[in-house]
Amino acid sequence: MQLRIAILLLALFSLPKDIFGKHIIGGEIQYECMGQGRYHIIMKIYRDCRPQENAANFDGANAQDAGAFVGIYRGVNLIDRLSVRLSGKRFVEAPDYPCLIPPDNLCVEEGTYEFDITLTTWPSSSSYTVVYQRCCRNNTISNLMTPGDIGATYAINITPESQRLCNSSPVFKEFPPTVVCVANKLDFDHSAIDADGDSLVYRFCHPLKGGGLAGGPDDRFGNPSGCDGIRPNPPCPPSFQKVAFSSAYNATTPMAGDPVVTIDSETGRITGVPQVIGQFVVGVCVEEYREGVLIGQISRDFQFNVADCDPTVFARVQSDAQIAGQEFIINSCGNNTILFKNESIIEQYIDTYRWEFDIDGSTEIHEERDAEVTFPGVGTYRGVMMVNPGLDCGDTAEVFVNLYPSITADFIFDYDTCLAGPTTFTDLSFTGAERITSWSWSFGDGGASSFSDPSYVYQQPGEHTISLTVTDNNQCEDTKQLPISYFPVPSLIVVEPSNFVGCSPGTVSFNNLSMPIDSTYDINWEFGDGNFGSDLSPTHVYQDAGTFAVKLDIVSPIGCQTEESFDSWITIRPSATANFSYLPDEPTNFNPTVTFNSLSTNHVREQWIFDDVGRSQESNPIFTFPDTGAYLVALIAVHENGCRDTMLQEINVKPKITYHMPNAFTPNGDGKNDVFIGTGFTEGIRAFEMSIWSRWGELLYLTNDPHGGWDGRKDNQGDVLPSGVYVYQVKYLDPKGEKIEFRGFSTLLR
């Protein structure tokens, strides 16, 4: 019997590079009887469409792909095979859970293949099977053994009884949710619709295995003689192999759970609470009965993604403490009216609020987001705050309110406003509780104390803010602040150094350690040598020898005044005066010897230091510098009391260049005056150039060597030039970089 296929068979093109992609997550086949042995077949395949390595597209999705290979069997005999193009595809939307936010990194795509077949032998005493096999499944599946190495078989069986009755298969209503939230209730209606009104019975069944990793670049259809190819062509005949579940899972409990995930045989509803995160393959079979007789069965193989979802609603209250997750404690001291601030999230998912407080045996209710409640007095009160009360997507927080007696911080202080000394503080705070348990003082300048009645000495003047925070046995606290204007003068003037002995000119740096003072005070110094100062801590230079008294006067911004005199405090001893002259004024490399003449006074000995090239203790030394350059010469003169003075002068030994040209030469080979060449001192010369020209402007000779000369021939080679007058030009840079240039005439005599 011939099977006529009402579809255009496509030519087999080369397969895409992602043929080995692991992407299959589900599929199903259904049929509709069109009469006279004609059937419309609808096959749906589901793939993981997240961007990932080796993620393949649907078979037949592009022109270069041969299509999905479908086999038609009568019994176990292959009647025909065909290649089916993809009819359409769509993304399966993620479920919209009212109380949970599933992860957004999942992607499921549905591909649909539609084609018609006609059975010439109809009805037949044998079943017809339409089958499609494809590797591979996701390798991240949790409940299968080696899931990435196996594929799936999707098949539909048209039984003899179904043929006789021109029966159409049931059609599933919905595809299962792409993600299920772990530890949350799963309730999905997996029922099907039967156009003929037949009775349907649902059960979990074994997903089927089909296709494998056999084959490669040279056999990209897989092994055509077996079922282990990536795309068996034709697909293998019934009966089909079953997938191997990993331990703890099987076909009837593919997800486990607590309670276990099951399917209702009458309604097709899948319920349970999955407890493990992962990807789980599930098979669902639907048996079709007419008048008590089994006439057919459809199956679906799909994947549940169990993930950790974020709740959408949390009841939260602004509080002083939070315990046990949803219990919030609010403390109030002396205030019986409390404004409760609602911090519940996520606000876009919250529709209603409800506050309930138990007050003297009755319930006070508020339905605004933030509630203001007045309690009758001191005590502990309990309440609840509910978001979305009465709805599935809601949450509740418990609120505990502790109302305590009031506490009031208060204090006074006392100090001498004009003379620096301690400031005393007296606590006047009051609490309605048992006792005050702690005091926290801040004196406004960084100082602090935890005593009830402290005493404090300010080191710096100024406008300070005093703060006292008191806490009682209920942990209630209160704070009071008061300003203090603190500008006394120091009770003791302290200055460093307390004495000074030095050589003239003597530099003394006075360090004023008196407290409290700052730049706002008037500071008046008398240094004892007729000079005055107003800096807080000045530096003064005593030019003359002698003994000096120092006086310091301090006036505060509010007019308080104090002063102190320090007699015979500064002693400045006489010192030698170092001075010298030298000749020549400008020593050079031709004359590097310098005669030094001491002009020092009030000294008993001297020492000369010639940079790092020599020393001398003579009064008027003569020193020869070893090279050109700048040298720092120091003369140290020492007074009989040990005071010394130093004079520094820089001596610059200048480099000089001398370069002279002759006016004639006789290149006759007698060894005398045969070469026209310059003479002189050329050390340090740079960028030298000497050129010889004829009187007609012809360049005859050029050299960059100061020691190079012209022998009377062009370029010092070839024929000799005639006697006559020639022009020379010399250019160079001296050691200081100055450009030297001159020209003249040279007479060549033969």
pLDDT, mean of residues 112-135? 92
Joined tokens for residue 521: 């005070």
Question: CA separation (Å) from 232 to 64, 147, 221, 222?
Answer: 18, 18, 6, 6
Q: Would you state the pLDDT for residue 216?
A: 47
For 101, other C-beta atoms within 10 Å of its C-beta total: 13
Least confident range of 101-105, 257-261, 461-465: 101-105
Q: Mean pLDDT, the chain, as a whole number?
A: 90
401 pairs with which residues across the strands? 330, 381
| HSE, side-chain direction, 13 A CA sphere, residue 339 | 2
Cα–Cα distance for residue pair 567/549, rounded to 1 Å: 4
> 353 and 288, same structural domain?
no
Cα–Cα distance for residue pair 282/205, rounded to 1 Å: 8
| Cβ contact 448:442 at 8 Å | yes
pLDDT-derived band at 4 (thresholds 50, 70, 90) equals: very low
Q: What is the DSSP letter of 163?
A: H
Least confident range of 4-13, 448-457, 499-508: 4-13
Query: Could you give the percent of the chain with pLDDT greater than 90?
Result: 71
pLDDT-derived band at 19 (thresholds 50, 70, 90) equals: very low
Highest mean pLDDT among 319-328, 389-398, 618-627: 618-627
Q: Would you state the pLDDT for residue 218?
A: 42
Give the largest CA-CA distance in the chain.
145
Q: Is the peptide bond before 259 cis (omega within 30 degrees of 0)?
A: yes
Cα–Cα distance for residue pair 724/746, rounded to 1 Å: 8
> 732 and 639, same structural domain?
no
> 86 and 161, same structural domain?
yes
> 615 and 556, same structural domain?
no
Examine the pLDDT at 369 and tell me if it is beyond 70. yes
- Assigned domain for 254 exists: yes
More confident residue, 561 or 659: 561
Joined tokens for residue 711: 């022998």
pLDDT digits (tens, 9 = 90+) for 135-189: 888 888 999 999 988 899 999 999 999 999 999 999 999 999 988 888 888 999 9
Examine the pLDDT at 606 and tell me if it is beyond 50. yes
- Assigned domain for 242 exists: yes
For 750, other C-beta atoms within 10 Å of its C-beta total: 11
pLDDT, mean of residues 730-735? 87
Q: Kindly tell me the burial class for residue 128, based on how many C-beta atoms sit within 10 Å of its own C-beta (0-12, 13-18, 19 or more).
A: buried
For 507, other C-beta atoms within 10 Å of its C-beta total: 10
- Number of structural domains, the chain? 6
Pairing between β-strand 522-526 and β-strand 532-533 as defined by DSSP bridges: antiparallel
Give me the sign of the Cα torsion angle 375, 380, 381, 385.
positive
> 630 and 595, same structural domain?
yes
More confident residue, 563 or 218: 563
- Assigned domain for 273 exists: yes
pLDDT-derived band at 587 (thresholds 50, 70, 90) equals: very high
- Assigned domain for 658 exists: no
Look up residue 641 and give its amino acid. N
Pairing between β-strand 664-665 and β-strand 739-748 as defined by DSSP bridges: parallel
Q: Would you state the pLDDT for residue 348?
A: 85
Cα–Cα distance for residue pair 653/632, rounded to 1 Å: 11
Cα–Cα distance for residue pair 273/692, rounded to 1 Å: 109
Examine the pLDDT at 492 and tell me if it is beyond 80. yes
More confident residue, 13 or 262: 262
DSSP string, 487-548: -PBPSS--EE-S-EEEESSEEEE-EE--SS--TTSEEEEE-SSS-EE-SSS-EEEE-S-EEE
| Cβ contact 539:510 at 8 Å | yes
More confident residue, 105 or 472: 472
pLDDT digits (tens, 9 = 90+) for 528-555: 999 999 999 999 999 999 999 999 999 9
> 518 and 462, same structural domain?
no
Cα–Cα distance for residue pair 381/655, rounded to 1 Å: 101
More confident residue, 217 or 498: 498
CATH number at residue 694: 2.60.40
> 248 and 109, same structural domain?
yes
pLDDT digits (tens, 9 = 90+) for 32-44: 999 999 999 999 9
More confident residue, 226 or 278: 278
Residue where a domain terminates, one of 653, 684, 701? 653
Give me the sign of the Cα torsion angle 430, 434, 439, 440.
negative
- Assigned domain for 659 exists: no
pLDDT-derived band at 12 (thresholds 50, 70, 90) equals: very low
> 514 and 372, same structural domain?
no
Cα–Cα distance for residue pair 214/219, rounded to 1 Å: 9
Q: Which of 61, 241, 86 is nearest to 155 (CA)?
A: 241
> 300 and 359, same structural domain?
no
Query: Could you give the percent of the chain with pLDDT greater than 70?
Result: 94
310: phi then psi, degrees, rounded to nearest 5: -90, 130
> 283 and 189, same structural domain?
yes
CATH number at residue 434: 2.60.40.10
Question: CA separation (Å) from 94 to 6, 26, 78, 109, 179?
Answer: 36, 16, 39, 11, 7
Look up residue 162 and give its amino acid. S
Q: Would you state the pLDDT for residue 139?
A: 85
If you compute the radius of gyration of the chain from its CA atoms, what whole number of angstroms results?
55
Examine the pLDDT at 684 and tell me if it is beyond 90. no
Examine the pLDDT at 7 and tell me if it is beyond 60. no
Residue where a domain terminates, one of 372, 404, 436? 404
> 414 and 394, same structural domain?
no
**Distance, first Cα to last Cα, the chain:** 130
> 96 and 145, same structural domain?
yes
Helix, strand, coil % (nearest 5) of the chain? 0, 50, 50
Q: Would you state the pLDDT for residue 6?
A: 29
Give the residue numbers spanning the domain of 276. Answer: 3-307
475 pairs with which residues across the strands? none
210: Cβ contacts below 8 Å, ≥ 6 apart? 131, 133, 134, 135, 151, 152, 153, 154, 227, 232, 235, 236, 240, 241
Highest mean pLDDT among 65-79, 466-480, 493-507, 578-592: 466-480
Residue keyed to tokens 């079943």: 127
Q: What is the DSSP letter of 324?
A: T
Joined tokens for residue 333: 């001291």
Q: Would you state the pLDDT for residue 189?
A: 96
- pTM value is 0.50
Q: Would you state the pLDDT for residue 215?
A: 59
Pairing between β-strand 3-6 and β-strand 108-119 as defined by DSSP bridges: antiparallel
Residue keyed to tokens 């002995």: 501
pLDDT-derived band at 737 (thresholds 50, 70, 90) equals: confident
pLDDT-derived band at 652 (thresholds 50, 70, 90) equals: very high
Residue where a domain terminates, one of 456, 486, 516? 486
pLDDT digits (tens, 9 = 90+) for 318-342: 999 998 778 999 999 999 999 999 9
Residue keyed to tokens 């705070």: 429
